[in-house]
Structure 1
């Protein structure tokens, strides 16, 4: 296995050094997974532009999507990062666990979002008719569906990057969940 060390500021291009400085000034750190993207001279800037694009979802809804997709893809880094961020956006520990397990019993609209995000991620967009109908019945729109697909793609990029590189998690570690298999 190839060992991926997290690059530090001096290891990356000048363009990425500027991004590192901006991240440090904005959020107080350069998350290890972002730093790992800086092995490429273009990936980090491209990714941040994509990730920070406008969406029809609230920040809380984005974290819901991030949590369920990261759980399905087995990305412990993103489960940890987005549990932390979800809590900053009004979700509690029990709610983040439910979302990662693929449901919400505290909000019907969030439940429809979680179930569709899970179905799309697991099936790669096929056989989602029931979840899609529930999504629309909950008040979401076709615009929301398009934004959901983009947010799933965003999270898959980071999930796969961590699953391949296994760089250290620099967020509070998310609780491992007992997943029932049927």
Structure 2
């Protein structure tokens, strides 16, 4: 049971109903986290969706975006987002073995992906300026300055949903992962 009450999606009006309609059109349904955020903060939900839209048109592949989002979610301990990004990662073509390796903090067999997981994990686990060595390593893996901007945005959006779901204890409506 979630902590924040969420009215039935079909009772939404105004800005919330508009956002829900956009989500339904794109995804077929409104995930629980979006339903609750939209019910109480439609502007916040719009901002998340706009940020995801910016990422979709950005410099990172869909697989890299889901790698980042899954990594952040695992570090944060957000079971909702781990389940969601495991499924979404599968839809981008990441194999179950790669997704499990990301969740377990193990090598994926792809040096560039492993560098991304390491870099993102380091960013979300620590504070302060990233060391020159960490910066050099992500650049040596092939990530550009533009991609570093998009990596930062992907982390920021994921942190928001992770924190919200941890506060709300959002009921997971994606296939659970071990």
TM surpasses 0.5:
yes
For structure 1, the 5+ residue unaligned runs are 176-182
Q: Secondary structure at the match of 1:42?
A: helix
Q: Are the counterparts in 2 of residues 119 and 125 from structure 1 also a CA contact under 8 Å?
A: no
TM-score, with normalisation over the residues of structure 1?
0.88
Aligned counterparts, 1:11-90, within 5 A: 11-38=11-38, 39-53=40-54, 54-90=57-93
Aligned mates of 2:132, 2:107 — CA distance in 1: 19
Paired with 2:176 and 2:10, the residues of 1 have a C-alpha distance of 28
Alignment coverage as a number of residue pairs: 174
Q: Flag the structure with higher helix content.
A: 2
Segments of 5+ residues of structure 2 without an aligned counterpart are none
Does the Cα contact within 8 Å between 2:32 and 2:170 map onto a contact in 1? yes
CA 101–21 in structure 1, closer or farther in 2 if over 3 Å, else same: same
State how far apart, in whole Å, the 2-side matches of 1:45 and 1:52 are.
10
Superposed displacement of residue 12, structure 1: 3.5
Quick one: distance in 2 between partners of 1:4 and 1:87? 30
TM-score normalised by L of structure 2? 0.90
CA distance in 1, matches of 2:128, 2:175: 32
**Which structure is higher in RCO with an 8 Å CA cutoff and minimum separation 6?**
2
2:19 & 2:77 partners in 1: Cα distance? 28
